[in-house]
Amino acid sequence: MEPPVIALEDVTVTYRSGFLGGTGFDALRGVSLSVGAGETVGLVGESGSGKTTLGRVCLGLLRPTTGSMHFAGQPFGNLRQRRGQLSVVLQHPEWALNPRLRCGRSVEEPLVLTGVSAAARRARVDEILEQVGLDPSFAARLPGQLSGGQRQRIAIARALVTHPRFIVFDEAVSALDVSVQAQVLNLIRDLQERHGFGALFISHDIAATRYVSHRIAVMLNGEIVEDGPAGRFYGAPEHPYSRALLAAV
Ligand SMILES: Nc1ncnc2c1ncn2[C@@H]1O[C@H](COP(=O)(O)OP(=O)(O)OP(=O)(O)O)[C@@H](O)[C@H]1O
Ligand SMILES: [Mg+2]
């Protein structure tokens, strides 16, 4: 069987603050989580529970204080080794897009680092724009000349352009209008079927999460308190905190 794209085992992250390291705060405590190819794991839980921290660990942006991490069955290694294999889509596309750069350049940029020829890069940009539902003419526009939903499509195109095997969506639809949210959620589902990447879909919106997730993991105070098929979570959640989350919708 194919190993998971990302597998964390017993991971702890301690944030140190103050002089000489201070006492430290455990943002993740003994977290184990795996995401398979073509699988979306929804990560839900209250603000401050550690979701973004976990996403950053999966992307190699934050080293676990203790515990281990594997990528496609291999030790995670360093970011240089993983170039083009991991991507992130954030809440505000502005965070990923340079306002002075034409959208086509922003989408193309990650490819430059992977050594693809200029002609192949341009063809790939056209292809990925089409896949996110934008006309190739959008390549010539600046981010400020797009709607919020179109900008998020550009950010998704940029995240996908290198054919990553794993993508973190951190509140990726939270800033969008409800109708635009539905379109972007559909897009994420379609793109995953086409590309087969594994995904961690972080959200405080458990209705949106349901729409894209095969599995749900619930975080509470830095720990995963429930992890199982989405159907079970939404039908008969096991943990009292999961029941409270669902009751609040
Ligand atoms: N760089 C940091 N230094 C110290 N503490 C941090 C740092 N980043 C996050 N924290 C703390 O770690 C905890 C988890 O933060 P995190 O951003 O992972 O939560 P979250 O679940 O993503 O919350 P939200 O839903 O609000 O985005 C919080 O208590 C936060 O204050
Ligand atoms: Mg967060």
CB 10 within 8 A of CB 31: yes
Q: Is the shortest distance between the CB of 209 and ligand 1 below 6 Å?
A: no
DSSP state of 24: -
Indicate whether 21 pLDDT > 70.
no
The arithmetic mean of pLDDT across residues 211-222, rounded, is 97
Q: Is the shortest distance between the CB of 53 and ligand 1 below 6 Å?
A: yes
Task: Report which listed range, 17-26, 32-41, 240-249, is most confident.
Answer: 32-41
Residue-level pLDDT at 95: 85
The arithmetic mean of pLDDT across residues 101-115, rounded, is 93
What kind of fold does domain 1-85+166-249 have according to CATH?
Answer: Rossmann fold (3.40.50)
CB 165 within 8 A of CB 37: yes
Residue-level pLDDT at 114: 83
pLDDT category at 20 given cuts 50, 70, 90 is: low
- Tokens describing residue 108: 């193309």
CB 61 within 8 A of CB 86: no
Indicate whether 96 pLDDT > 90.
no
176: Cβ contacts below 8 Å, ≥ 6 apart: 148, 149, 152, 184
Q: Is the shortest distance between the CB of 51 and ligand 1 below 6 Å?
A: yes
Compute, in angstroms, the gap from residue 222 CA to the centroid of ligand 1: 9
Which of the pair, 149 or 20, is modelled with greater confidence?
A: 149
Residue-level pLDDT at 122: 95
The arithmetic mean of pLDDT across residues 117-141, rounded, is 96
Q: Is the shortest distance between the CB of 25 and ligand 1 below 6 Å?
A: yes
- Tokens describing residue 47: 């603000």
Tokens 């969008």, located at residue? 176
* Percent of the chain whose predicted confidence (pLDDT) is above 90: 86
Looking at ligand 1, which atom is closest to the CA of residue 202?
22
The arithmetic mean of pLDDT across residues 188-208, rounded, is 95
Residue-level pLDDT at 68: 96
Q: Give the helix ranges, DSSP H, for 202-239.
A: 206-212, 230-235
Indicate whether 16 pLDDT > 90.
no
Q: Boundaries of CATH 3.40.50.300 in the chain?
A: 1-85+166-249
Indicate whether 41 pLDDT > 80.
yes
The arithmetic mean of pLDDT across residues 1-8, rounded, is 94
Q: What are the phi and psi torsion angles at 26 (to 5°)?
A: -85, 100
Q: Atom 28 of ligand 1 has which residue's CA nearest to it?
A: 48
Residue-level pLDDT at 228: 96
What is the C-alpha separation between 202 and 187, in angstroms, rounded? 16
